[in-house]
Structure 1
Amino acid sequence: MGILTRFTDIMKSNINALLDKCEDPAKMIDQTLRDLREDLAEVKKETANIIADAKSADRQVKECEADIAKYTTAAQNALKAGNEDDARTLIAKKQQYENNLISYKKTQELTNANADKMRLMHDKLVNDIETLEAKRDAIKATVASAKAQEHINKIVSGGDKAKSSMESFERYEKKAEKMLDAATAEAELNAHTSAASSLADKYTSNGSDTSVEDELAAMKAKLGL
């Protein structure tokens, strides 16, 4: 029965749901198309045999029904002619065909049901393939745009990092300049303090010398020198 064993799976398959779930629709759509085309080829191959079986079963049923009708008429005619033994033989033959008809009808029902399933699968697969082929270019274009946008987002994200790094560098640069200004100011202050200290020492020394001279003069005066 081959492909017929997959009738339920094929008929329940939902192309749109499948594409929504997969991570990479562009890759999935090509693989799905290959699978569907393989299934369709198998359906076409098996459908011919199954339809042939259905037609054969139909023919057997019709032939059997015709035989039943023929032997029924013959038995009736035998009775009318007063030949009960012939009628009995004809009725027995008719009953054989009636038993065969039960089996033929079961086969007819099964083969026709299988033929209907094959037609349904054929139409479903053809429709799915046409749907995917119609969507393939659009889906691939959408995926390509999405990937391009992701690439742009990464570049923009990298630019933000560079901008952040530059801002940090500028902050460090300003901090360094501030430290340099502070050090320069401290150096200037130290230099000014050093000059003032030198002047103080100078005039302090002169003051000490004057005091010595004054005391020396006073001592001379006291000694009358």
Structure 2
Amino acid sequence: MSIMKRMSLIMKSKANKALDRAEDPRETLDYSYQRQLELLTKVRRGVADVATSRKRLELQLAQLQQQADKLQSQAEKAIAVDREDLAREALTRKAGLAQQITDLQAQHAALQAEEEKLVLAQQRLQAKVEAFRTRKETIKATYTAAEAQTRIGEAVSGIGEEMGDVGLAIQRAEDKTAQMQARAGAIDELLASGALDDPLAVGGGDDIARELEALSAGSDVDAEIARLKGLGAGSAPGQLGAADPLAKPHVEGEGAR
């Protein structure tokens, strides 16, 4: 398949999907019903036009028939007064009217048959339109109920578009909260284990400062050990252990004061 054909197919599929989302079956049904009503109106207008033509022919036939009857009466009166020539003329004119009457009667019969067909078609179409209207309203009511039920179900289950956005927001908030809790717990563990010093704590600082403090503490320990050794050398055996470690060292000249 060529690139142009693929692009055309993709565009058509996307357009079809967009139209499917935008289409409302209720609006489509109402539009179809409106078109059927327009068609029914045209059929009724056609029936009215044919009936009007038929009525006009009937009036013409009635006028021609009156003229023929009048000519017949005139011919009879002319014969009565021995005017055969006038009677002949009247009957000749009557014969011409008779031909017109025959033609109009044929047209009238054709129009009447056409009118009957149109009336029957109108009745059938009207019955179909009424049936479609009933079915349309039933489908619309069913669709509306199904749409409402779907929206309620989506709202309850949270799978709707709006509720889905709310659910995603809640999920993101919960994820961030869990991440912050985990970070806080990890920091507490590192502080407790000493792996992460508190910069505000006493004795806190960088590595060099801690190393200097360790050296200073080691020197103090060595000085204390030397002092204790000195005390042990100047005392009698057994007195070192009895000596009060908290006793103040003797300072020469203290008794004089």
TM-score by length of structure 2 reads 0.44
More contact order relative to length (CA 8 Å, sep ≥ 6):
1
Name the one with the larger helix percent. Answer: 1
Higher Cα radius of gyration: 2
TM-score by length of structure 1 reads 0.48
